[in-house]
Amino acid sequence: MAATRVITAASATTSCFLAKRAFVLPAKRSCGGGALCFSRRAFVLKSKRPFSCSAIYNPQVKVKEEGQPETLDYRVFFLDGSGKKVSPWHDIPLTLGDGVYNFIVEIPKESKAKMEVATDEDFTPIKQDTKKGKLRYYPYNINWNYGLLPQTWEDPSQANAEVEGAFGDNDPVDVVEIGETQRKIGEVLKIKPLAALAMIDEGELDWKIVAISLDDPKAHLVNDVDDVEKHFPGTLTAIRDWFRDYKIPDGKPANRFGLGDKPANKEYALKIIHETNESWAKLVKRSVDPGDLSLF
């Protein structure tokens, strides 16, 4: 029996991606808590008119569950105000302005079913990942809300010179939300990014943006990587270690991390978001080959 629930998504917007503005290639400087910090240097992107595409204008979006959880047929679809299916990856805006971003929950904290947006299916619903026809689970619970930034894409044809020349993993950018509340699959949260971890998974670059929901009681206390260490002590190390080690019980090698094995600061995280948003814009304009990816 399909169920429908209403979740708050985004305020109205007409832009599908971040307008280009002056960004800088950061230079390393020391930072408290063993994190990588970056100071501004002259690296400017040329301004261009922003690409526009259809995005959700209604401030609410519904999710509709089809099939039973923890089955191969289970899907969580997103519906606009008129009841039409939309893509959580392509149609929910990335940014709301003033440093606020939308985050779509795929995996609630303290759960282990490996849920993900089906990037190769029409309307990119959330489903449980499979391997050899079997549902996938993490070996233990993930301790944070986990999901994606809409309208971002890690381009598998682009090597990142700052992270060992690793190529993108062909997915939207992942978010680790550190707030205290366990969220629901398909929930759309307003977040602020705080840090970034450059995970390298079997040679592919898989960014983890550490963020916090604006409605969390501690949200006003944290604005950058140092604040996370101060108000959520040990969390950044725990996130890195969790993602480094979760494949080991299955007999696979540990994942690695670039950028000196340390979290980068907020400014660097915003740079990554900006770059992957640009990559997504090229993808939906078909300036690059989408392969098997669904663009609607």
Looking up residue 224, the CATH number of its domain turns out to be 3.90.80.10
Structural domain that includes position 264: 94-285
Residue 268: active-site member: no
Each residue's pLDDT tens digit, 1-32: 566 665 545 443 434 544 433 333 334 444 44
pLDDT digits (tens, 9 = 90+) for 164-218: 999 999 999 999 999 999 999 999 999 999 999 999 999 999 999 999 999 999 9
* Within-domain flag for 270: yes
Would residue 161 count as lying in a domain?
A: yes
* Tally of domains within the chain: 1
The average confidence (pLDDT) of the chain is 86
pLDDT value, residue 5: 60
Rounded to the nearest 5°, which phi and psi values hold at 228? -60, -45
Which residue reads 């990335």 in tokens? 94
Angle at the Cα of 81 (from 174 to 296), degrees rounded to 5?
A: 50
Residue with tokens 């960014």: 207
Residues contacting residue 214 through CB under 8 Å, at least 6 positions apart: 100, 189, 190, 191, 192
Question: Which two tokens mark 250?
Answer: 């299955």
**Segment (H or E) for 241:** helix 235-245
In a domain, 263, yes or no: yes
Q: Is residue 89 part of a domain?
A: no
Under DSSP, is residue 219 helix (H, G, I), strand (E, B) or coil?
helix
Single-letter amino acid, residue 52 = S
Alpha carbons 212 and 215: distance in angstroms, whole number: 8
Q: Which of 74, 138, 140, 246 is catalytic?
A: 138
Whole-angstrom Cα distance, residue 7 to residue 32? 38
60 vs 70, residue with greater confidence: 70
pTM metric for this prediction: 0.85
Place of tokens 């002590």: 233
- The model's confidence at residue 60, banded by pLDDT at 50, 70 and 90, is confident
Report, as an integer, the average pLDDT of 149-153. 98
